[in-house]
Amino acid sequence: MATLVAGANAALTAENPGLDHVVVGMAWDTIPARGPQTELVPFAVMCDSSGQAASNEHLVFFNQLVSVDSSVTFLGDTDQEQIDVDLSSVPAEISKIVFFVYVDPEFRGPGTFSSVRSAHIRVATAENRELVRFDLSTSGLEAVTAMIFGELYRHRNDWKFRALGQGYSTGLAGVAKDYGIKL
């Protein structure tokens, strides 16, 4: 298993011959609150070569559990949110799959990542052998309302993972604007 830092890349299929299926897990711990608790929502966006969402049917989250081509599936879990990716079934026009988490403003009012004390994204085999992990920095997140945890992307004929940890102060609306998602 490799532990990555922000901006680092890891070759997945080149270093693991025969790898055609991964599970991307995202997890976090928050400070318990007596009042409204921040509700974090994970989702994945399947992007074309321009870096934009191929369509709104290429989003995967709690209200749209499977991508239009069935290659990406939201699994969820009690300990971490999981998204299953059948790399061999991802259409050729998809160049990357970006994994985000945003604060749901409708759940308990506006919130930020300031209550997040630890967060990570991991890529594992279907058998749960962890290939890479990225522990995100949780300092300075008072204005962050959405964050890119990482992305799977094509490099020639292989798949790689990039650790990102890029925050947005504009929440889901900012992510939608940058990735061409229609809200």
Q: Where are the domains of the chain?
A: 2-179
What is the model's pLDDT at position 112? 87
What whole-number distance in Å separates Cα of residue 25 and Cα of residue 42? 10
Q: Give 150-161 pLDDT, tens digit per residue.
A: 999 999 999 999
What is the model's pLDDT at position 165? 95
Tokens for 71, please give them.
């290659």
pLDDT, averaged across the chain: 91
- Helix (H) or strand (E) segment spanning residue 108: helix 105-108
What is the model's pLDDT at position 104? 83
List the 146-155 sheet strands across, edge first.
Answer: 9-11, 158-168, 146-155, 96-103, 40-47, 59-60
Grade residue 44 by pLDDT with cuts at 50, 70 and 90. very high
The answer regarding whether domain 2-179 maps to CATH 2.60.60.30 reads yes
What is the model's pLDDT at position 33? 72
What whole-number distance in Å separates Cα of residue 83 and Cα of residue 62? 11
pLDDT at residue 77 is higher than 90: no
What whole-number distance in Å separates Cα of residue 79 and Cα of residue 155? 31
